[in-house]
Structure 1
Amino acid sequence: MIVEQFRTGGDRNFGYLVADEVSGEALVIDASFDPSMIVRFAEEHGFVIRYIFSTHGHDDHTNGNGAIRHLTGIVPLLYGDTCPRTGVRVEDAASFSLGTLDARILYTPGHTPDSICILVGDALFTGDTLFTGKVGGTVTRAQALEEYNSLHEKLLGLPDITKVWPGHDYGTAPHSSIGIERRSNPFLLQPDFNAFLALKHNWAEYKKMHGIA
């Protein structure tokens, strides 16, 4: 499996191409700002794009969807959409065949109601649900609780070796692993939801106290 991470612009956004080396089939995740760069990479390496996913509906993750659809003829998919080629709906536990690989959808609401993560092999594409050393922003207590549950019930149930590929270069590194985040991410180290929420409310002060950029 090949994972190519692209700095697409915007607010330090990342886009991704994931390819099965055996079949040459590929999928694209969060093709915002400069989708032609990702399509060009696929063409230069002989990969055929089969799917395009957005991890959630915010503009900085979807503003390239029209352009990449024009370039590839592939309809970009968000949570709740049905893939016109396979008839598979983008929902929790849905699986999309990619050559010898499978891309599995994890529904992870919190940052937005339509947030998903995508698991391909041991690579997890987390959008704005989980960053390296941080988690996605939320506005209300209810959203924060949804995010807390998504993190603990979905993502932290994955093996420690699972690689984490986030939607932005916000954290301490451009990628991480579930094991590293489990052991070091301040939000994941909180003993319960109330402590998690308190850290969200006091994150600016926490960063200042601990020298976090």
Structure 2
Amino acid sequence: MDFRILHSTNSSELSYLLADRACGEAVLIDPHSRDLPVIRALLQEHQLRLRWVLRTHQHDHLRPMEFERLRQLGAPLVQGEPREGATLVNDGQNLDFGSEKIKIWRTPGHTPYCLSYICRDRVFCGGLMAVDACDLQPYPADPEALWDSVVQRLFTLPDETLLFAGHEIPLHAVSTVWGQRQSHTWFKKLDRDAFITHWTNFLILNN
């Protein structure tokens, strides 16, 4: 499987291209419409057919027409939030591209409809680990769901599992389940009750 990270110097957001070159199929995870020319050039250069566009989460209310522009890629657009034109999936469902499989996990919390995508030893988890570091969503939409998604789902995976975030800062591009368990600012220092209490009080004071 070929793998490429797409990163804009003007943004801390990250996108990922996975490809089965032998079968000529590819998947995009968390692409941004500003990168469409680069994405199309990559697909054409390597003679790849785009099989799926996968979104871990979205902030389309802050980016008008983002959804419509991404649909121009011509592949089914998978996301957790129901919307006309979106492809909805079930928790635990597998999506095929080439000879590869991607498993869907529902991991709400950063936003209400977050999804994570598991391929081999890699998990693409969007903004889950950012907690307070996403410019567009600097606090959990649902603190209780976020804790459960991270601790009761992601952290149950093998230590060496690679976690690919949707935001470069403060996680860089990749970390591991073991590393996040040992060092994450929020999930190491607080237990579930303390985490939920902190962010629930924050939301009450700021709404």
Normalised by the length of structure 2, the TM-score is 0.80
Structure 2 CA distance for aligned equivalents of residues 81 and 20 of structure 1: 29
Corresponding residue for residue 165 of structure 2: 166
* Alpha-carbon spacing, 1:163–1:139, altered in 2? closer, same or farther (3 Å): closer
Structure 1 CA distance for aligned equivalents of residues 13 and 65 of structure 2: 12
* Alpha-carbon spacing, 1:9–1:182, altered in 2? closer, same or farther (3 Å): same
Structure 2 CA distance for aligned equivalents of residues 113 and 124 of structure 1: 19
* CA-atom RMSD in angstroms: 3.2
Aligned residues: 196
> What's the CA shift for 1:145?
0.8
CA contact (8 A) 1:14 1:168 kept: yes
Structure 2 CA distance for aligned equivalents of residues 56 and 28 of structure 1: 13
CA contact (8 A) 1:27 1:51 kept: yes
Q: Which runs of 5+ in 1 are unaligned?
A: 202-213
* Alpha-carbon spacing, 1:173–1:139, altered in 2? closer, same or farther (3 Å): closer
Q: For residue 4 of structure 1, what is the amino acid of its counterpart?
A: R
Normalised by the length of structure 1, the TM-score is 0.78
Q: For residue 50 of structure 1, what is the amino acid of its counterpart?
A: R
CA contact (8 A) 1:126 1:165 kept: yes
Identity of aligned residues (%): 25
Q: For residue 165 of structure 1, what is the amino acid of its counterpart?
A: F
CA deviation digits over 1:36-95, x for unaligned, max 9? 21222122122221000111131378964433432x32131211669x9xxx84121111
Question: Equivalent residue of 2:108, what SS?
Answer: coil
> What's the CA shift for 1:197?
4.2
> What's the CA shift for 1:188?
2.3
Corresponding residue for residue 152 of structure 2: 153
Q: Which runs of 5+ in 2 are unaligned?
A: 201-207
Structure 2 CA distance for aligned equivalents of residues 195 and 27 of structure 1: 38
* Alpha-carbon spacing, 1:198–1:118, altered in 2? closer, same or farther (3 Å): same
Corresponding residue for residue 27 of structure 2: 27
1:119-134 equivalences under 5 Å are 119-131=118-130
Corresponding residue for residue 46 of structure 1: 47
